[in-house]
Amino acid sequence: MKLHILGCYAATPRTLTNPTSQVLEIRNHMFLIDCGEGTQVQLRKQKIKFSRINHIFISHLHGDHFFGLPGLISTFRLLGRNKEMHIYGPKGIKEAITLLLKLGDSWTNYPLVFHELTAKTPKLVYEDDKVSVTTIPLDHRVYTNGFLFREKPGERQLNIEAATEYGIEPVYFRNIKKGKDVTLDDGTIVPNQALSFDPKPPKSYAYCSDTAYKPSMVDQISEVDWLYHESTFLDSEEHLSAKTKHSTAKEAAKIAKAAQVGTLLLGHYSTRYKSIVLFKEEAATIFDNVELADDGKVFEW
């Protein structure tokens, strides 16, 4: 997995910081997660090909998470897109986007497919033979979902030395990777375990922004490789997090610890603080493996 941070700050765009947007590369997919203002510019800065984005996941209908979407949809049209674009987001997103297109007489010349969400329990919203995406219900001032991205187990890895030793022809290699045994010319059955290695463990990524502290999500995100969890405030402003239904860095760390995740990635920082390093220092008092999202950063695992 490869995660591009396009923007990770709360509220409004500034000269040096951008509101929330990410691109996750996973098994030949390039998923756009949230689309705050400035997303197009950030995509160009990071040299991400617009044409590779076919699925967009919007967590909620606050401007700093989707106001960049109408412009991006229009740009796809100007670039001559003809492939389907799938947009997953709260009920109302279709009305909001199509009204702008209607008033501007700028309908897309490519299929725009909306998947509107209303469920308050986890819902599988995308699946193919390589990856699945499930909603993570969050607790914010409006209906909000995070998203859990999981790889599916890959093929077994061929043990070429063993295959050569048994005299197995390359034509059988594909079946070996699929987990099948091989029958030799003399009738001997060679078990797959002798010809291949276990596949690499499937990877996972949980995206949680925006939300109040919500321990009930722990079971769903248990042992994910990376968890992005909003940390709008520090513990000194916990009263504001409760009022606005956001989280502190310490609360994000508590979730990470309880879920036993591999790495905690903090983001959605309030710009009231002089340095985002303060968020890492606070979270590290609870959970050891903490990283800081920042505009332009790329993480790979």
Tokens of residue 66, six digits? 């989707």
Using alpha carbons only, what angle is made at residue 139 by residues 256 and 43, rounded to the nearest 5 degrees? Answer: 75
Q: Is 4 annotated as a binding residue?
A: no
| Cis bond upstream, residue 295 (ω within 30) | no
Tokens of residue 111, six digits? 């299929």
Q: State pLDDT tens for residues 155-167.
A: 899 999 999 999 9
Domains of the chain: 2-154+200-300 (3.60.15.10), 157-197 (no CATH)
| Residue 240: count of CB within 10 angstroms of its CB | 15
Cα–Cα distance for residue pair 45/199, rounded to 1 Å: 35
Given 34, 64, 288, 294, the catalytic residue: 64
* pLDDT score, position 97: 97
Q: State pLDDT tens for residues 38-93.
A: 999 999 999 999 999 999 999 999 999 999 999 999 999 999 999 999 999 999 99
For range 257-285, the mean pLDDT:
97
* pLDDT score, position 64: 97
Q: Is 86 annotated as a binding residue?
A: no
* pLDDT score, position 155: 87
* Counts of helices then strands in the chain (DSSP H, E): 9, 18
- Pairing type for strands 226-230 and 204-208 reads parallel
Cα–Cα distance for residue pair 246/213, rounded to 1 Å: 7
Q: Is 210 annotated as a binding residue?
A: yes
pTM given for the model: 0.91
Three-state SS at 68: coil
Q: State pLDDT tens for residues 173-220.
A: 999 999 999 999 899 999 999 999 998 899 999 999 999 999 999 999
Per-residue confidence band for 266, with pLDDT thresholds at 50, 70 and 90: very high
Of 24, 19, 31, 17, nearest to 2 by C-alpha is 24
Q: Is 64 annotated as a binding residue?
A: yes
Q: 213 in the Ramachandran plot: left (φ > 0), alpha (ψ -120 to 50) or beta?
A: beta
Mean model confidence pLDDT for the chain: 96
Q: Is 55 annotated as a binding residue?
A: no
Q: Is 60 annotated as a binding residue?
A: yes
Cα–Cα distance for residue pair 231/272, rounded to 1 Å: 13
Cα–Cα distance for residue pair 90/87, rounded to 1 Å: 10
Is position 64 annotated as part of the catalytic site?
Answer: yes
Three-state SS at 153: coil
